[in-house]
Amino acid sequence: METFADGFGRRFRYLRISLTEVCNFRCVYCLPNGYQKVAGPALMTPLEIERLGRVFSHRGVTKFRLTGGEPTVRRDLGDIIGRLSALPGGNKVAMTTNGWNLARYIEEWAAAGLTNLNVSVDSLEPDVFRRITGHNRLNSVLEGVDRALDLALPSVKLNAVLQRSAVGEGFDRFADYVRTRPVAVRFIELMRTGDNLAFFEDQHVPGSRLLAWLADHGWSPCLRGPDDGPAIEYRHPDYEGRLGLIAPYSPGFCDSCNRLRITAAGKLRLCLFGDDGVDLRDLLASDDRPALEARIESALAMKPRGHRLAEGRSGDTRNLSQLGG
Ligand code: SAM
Ligand code: SF4
């Protein structure tokens, strides 16, 4: 069966599934006042997520990423990982988490079939980490990362959002961290969303700051594979891990877009910074696979060429906890 593709010839092998909008952190750029409950449609059940996964896997998706909000607040997370992992095709099952309770549950998630783990750690300084997330938990998050490394998960990465107040010595600290750990730390340029304009204007740092640091310190870019995501990673002969950059504001960023997104309530989002989405819920409830494929195909024909962040337009995305980044 043919891989899902859009009108610009981009093929989609990667599906990000949000499991909830709820989050227990209060990251300054995302949910500075914490998650505020709003009435909305019920979350997709593990069975609906499995059905969704089956259709996308049948149409060429090879990697699912669970995200949120904070995906680990769901008690049925292990069940969801297990169902996606059991689908035919040997898909990767990835998760992006803030690391809350990672140390406690990573063995369970790995046993259920989790293959790729991304943990968001914006700073390796405990005080800065607390200021950014609202929680004094850096050590416990890092303990969880080390457990994941001990379990030899196929991929363990850290995400760090570039913020003016946390760069500077931050790059040296992260480099020290990867000296003996086979971890990629990927710095993400802060993105403007509907809610964070003032923070964005104060704190946005262009990725060129990191690139200059990497060049000064002897890091060189790794070769890229055809299905690589948007991160450009760098290596250094004296370091086991890698450092990388995700720069959504750079020209051409959207040209190699290989991902689609599903909201926690089962809407297909064509772009992180688009508007609304195409509801798949009725077809997930009836498990009508041909109709699901047809609806997704016709939606993909509408996928825009790229986001319009440079024009200051971030669609109806108020913050990334709504969609999972
Ligand atoms: N709660 C989980 C976490 O933080 O890892 C998963 C969801 S979170 C929305 C996914 C990723 O998006 C995190 O790495 C987070 O740092 C990043 N993120 C959130 N808001 C962002 C923004 N405005 N610009 C850039 N990255 C952002
Ligand atoms: Fe929560 Fe992740 Fe947003 Fe931080 S970035 S508030 S951990 S959803």
CB crowding 75-99: b at 16 or more within 10 Å, else e: eebbbbbbbbbebeeebbbbbbbbb
Per-residue pLDDT tens over the stretch 52-92: 999 999 999 999 999 999 999 999 999 999 999 999 988 99
Q: How far is the CA of 122 from the centre of ligand 2 (A)?
A: 11
Average pLDDT for residues 205-211, to the nearest whole number? 94
State yes or no: pLDDT of 300 exceeds 80: yes
* Banded model confidence at residue 259, pLDDT cuts 50, 70, 90: confident
Q: Percent of the chain beyond pLDDT 70?
A: 94
- Could you tell me which residues come within 8 angstroms of residue 160 by beta carbon, excluding any fewer than 6 positions away? 120, 121, 122, 123, 166, 170, 174, 185, 186, 187, 188
Which ligand is closest to the CA of 161, given by its number?
1
| Per-residue pLDDT, 308 | 66
What gap in Å lies between CA 121 and CA 109, rounded to an integer?
Answer: 20
User: DSSP states of 145-176 as a string?
Assistant: HHHHHHTT-SEEEEEEEE-GGG-TTHHHHHHH
Q: How far is the CA of 70 from the centre of ligand 2 (A)?
A: 7
- Could you tell me which residues come within 8 angstroms of residue 28 by beta carbon, excluding any fewer than 6 positions away? 131, 132, 163, 199
Cross-strand bridge partners of residue 116: 94, 155
Q: Which protein residue's CA is at the shortest distance from atom 25 of ligand 1?
A: 190
| Per-residue pLDDT, 226 | 65
* Banded model confidence at residue 255, pLDDT cuts 50, 70, 90: confident
| Per-residue pLDDT, 9 | 85
What gap in Å lies between CA 218 and CA 278, rounded to an integer?
Answer: 46
State yes or no: pLDDT of 148 exceeds 70: yes
| Per-residue pLDDT, 273 | 67
| Per-residue pLDDT, 181 | 97
| Ligand 2, atom nearest to 24 Cα | 1
Mean pLDDT of the chain: 91
Which ligand is closest to the CA of 28, given by its number?
2
Probe residue for ligand 1, chosen from 188, 204, 253, 273 as the CB with the greatest number of ligand atoms within 8 Å: 188
Probe residue for ligand 2, chosen from 70, 102, 193 as the CB with the greatest number of ligand atoms within 8 Å: 70
Q: Name the DSSP class of 29.
A: T
Cross-strand bridge partners of residue 156: 117
Per-residue pLDDT tens over the stretch 27-53: 999 999 999 988 888 999 999 999 999
What gap in Å lies between CA 64 and CA 261, rounded to an integer?
Answer: 10
Instruction: Return the C-alpha torsion angle 128, 130, 134, 140, nearest 10.
Output: 140
Average pLDDT for residues 198-224, to the nearest whole number? 94
State yes or no: pLDDT of 253 exceeds 80: no
| Per-residue pLDDT, 48 | 98
State yes or no: pLDDT of 230 exceeds 90: no
Probe residue for ligand 1, chosen from 161, 196, 269 as the CB with the greatest number of ligand atoms within 8 Å: 161
Compute the radius of gyration of the chain from its Cα atoms: 19
Ligand 1 pocket (Cβ < 6 Å) reads: 23, 29-30, 67-68, 70, 96-98, 120, 159, 161, 188, 190-191, 193, 196, 320-321, 324-325
The residue that leads in pLDDT, 90 or 227, is 90
Which ligand is closest to the CA of 117, given by its number?
1
Q: Which protein residue's CA is at the shortest distance from atom 4 of ligand 2?
A: 27
Per-residue pLDDT tens over the stretch 100-135: 999 999 999 999 999 999 999 999 999 999 999 999
Which ligand is closest to the CA of 203, given by its number?
1
Least confident segment among 32-41, 155-164, 246-255: 246-255
Average pLDDT for residues 249-270, to the nearest whole number? 84
Which ligand is closest to the CA of 102, given by its number?
1
What region does 35 belong to: left with phi over 0, alpha with psi -120 to 50, or beta?
Answer: beta
* Banded model confidence at residue 304, pLDDT cuts 50, 70, 90: confident
Least confident segment among 122-126, 235-239, 308-312: 308-312
Average pLDDT for residues 182-206, to the nearest whole number? 93
Ligand 2 contact via 21 beta carbon (within 6 Å): no
- Report CA 44 to chain centroid distance, whole Å: 19
Average pLDDT for residues 192-221, to the nearest whole number? 94
| Ligand 1, atom nearest to 320 Cα | 9
Q: Where are the beta strands (DSSP E) in the chain?
A: 14-18, 63-67, 92-97, 116-120, 155-162, 184-189, 220-221, 232-235, 242-246, 259-262, 267-269, 278-279
Q: Which protein residue's CA is at the shortest distance from atom 17 of ligand 1?
A: 325
| Per-residue pLDDT, 126 | 96
* Banded model confidence at residue 169, pLDDT cuts 50, 70, 90: confident
| Ligand 1, atom nearest to 248 Cα | 25
The residue that leads in pLDDT, 272 or 30, is 30
Residue 118 phi, psi dihedral angles, 5° rounding: -115, 130
The residue with tokens 């988490």 is: 97
128 residue type, one letter:
V
| Per-residue pLDDT, 66 | 98
| Ligand 2, atom nearest to 98 Cα | 7
State yes or no: pLDDT of 209 exceeds 80: yes
| Per-residue pLDDT, 168 | 76
Please report the domains of the chain, with CATH numbers, ordered by start residue. 14-322 (3.20.20.70)
Q: Percent of the chain beyond pLDDT 90?
A: 74
Q: How far is the CA of 321 from the centre of ligand 1 (A)?
A: 7
Which ligand is closest to the CA of 18, given by its number?
1
| Ligand 2, atom nearest to 26 Cα | 6
C-alpha dist (Å) from residue 221 to 96, 169, 234:
24, 21, 4
Q: Which protein residue's CA is at the shortest distance from atom 2 of ligand 1?
A: 97
| Per-residue pLDDT, 172 | 95
Q: Is 188 helix (H, G, I), strand (E, B) or coil?
A: strand
